[in-house]
Amino acid sequence: MRITQGTFSFLPDLSDEEITKQIQYALDNAWPLSVEFTDDPHPRNTYWEMWGLPMFDLKDAAGVLAEVNACREAKPNYYIKVNAYNANYGKQTVGLSFIVQRPAEEPGFRLERQEAHDRTIRYTLHAYAADAPHGSRYNGHQ
């Protein structure tokens, strides 16, 4: 099941050229960018791991793309996303965030029902990938 999180996630995966253009759009708006990765696909997992520090004062997309590629190489079977922070509102808000890599196979989620008091049923999502311990999901070798 294809994860759809962030901008462009309903489109086919972006090519490097398209990613470069999106990064350049963010840089032209003076949004600093950062690269993050995770192997926990849960939609409420907002805290992905940081690949290096956010990149400030960049002018050209090549620097960010180099970091994306470095992250891809180190984390071949992880989700990787690029975030652009928009500080125009006086606080750090995400201006743009999109996935630039996903695992080859995404097993998806199962629906879990929890029986609570008085015949109440609570529903929750459980990622099949999350059954394996962190670091060995998605046939990752990390």
Partner 1 sequence: MTRNRPPSEPDAPARVGFGMGRPSGAAGPGGGTGMGTASEPSAEADEREILPMDARVDLAKEREATGIDEVFDSLDADLVGLTPVKTRIREIAALLLVDRARSRFGLSTSRPNLHMSFTGSPGTGKTTVALRMADMLHRLGYLRRGHLVSVTRDDLVGQYVGHTAPKTKEVLKRAMGGLLFIDEAYYLYRAENERDYGQESIEILLQTMENHREDLVVILAGYKDRMDTFFVSNPGMSSRIAHHIDFPDYTQEELEAIGDLMVGAEGYAFTPETRKTFQEYLANRRAQPRFANARSVRNAIERARLRHANRLMEATEAVSKEELTTLAPEDFRGSRVFTDDDTNGTPNT
Give the footprint of partner 1 on residues 65-104 (CB under 8 A). Answer: 66-67
User: CB of residue 140 vs partner 1: minimum separation in angstroms?
Assistant: 25
Rounded Cα gap, residues 77 and 60, in angstroms: 27
User: Of the candidates 17, 73, 115, 118, which one interacts with partner 1 according to CB under 8 A?
Assistant: 17
User: CB of residue 57 vs partner 1: minimum separation in angstroms?
Assistant: 5
User: Of the candidates 5, 9, 24, 77, which one interacts with partner 1 according to CB under 8 A?
Assistant: 24
User: Of the candidates 28, 49, 105, 131, which one interacts with partner 1 according to CB under 8 A?
Assistant: 28
The region of 7-15, 20-28, 105-113, 124-132 touching partner 1 under the rule CB under 8 A is 20-28
Contact between 20 and partner 1 (CB under 8 A)? yes
Cβ atoms 24, 14 nearer than 8 A: no
SS3 73: helix
Q: Locate the DSSP E strands across 21-135.
A: 33-38, 49-55, 79-86, 93-101, 109-115, 121-127
Rounded Cα gap, residues 22 and 31, in angstroms: 11
Nearest to 80 by CA among 61, 44, 52, 109: 52
Nearest to 55 by CA among 79, 13, 80, 23: 23
The region of 7-15, 51-59, 88-96, 126-134 touching partner 1 under the rule CB under 8 A is 51-59
Chain positions contacting partner 1, by CB under 8 A = 17, 20, 24, 28, 52-53, 55, 57-64, 66-67
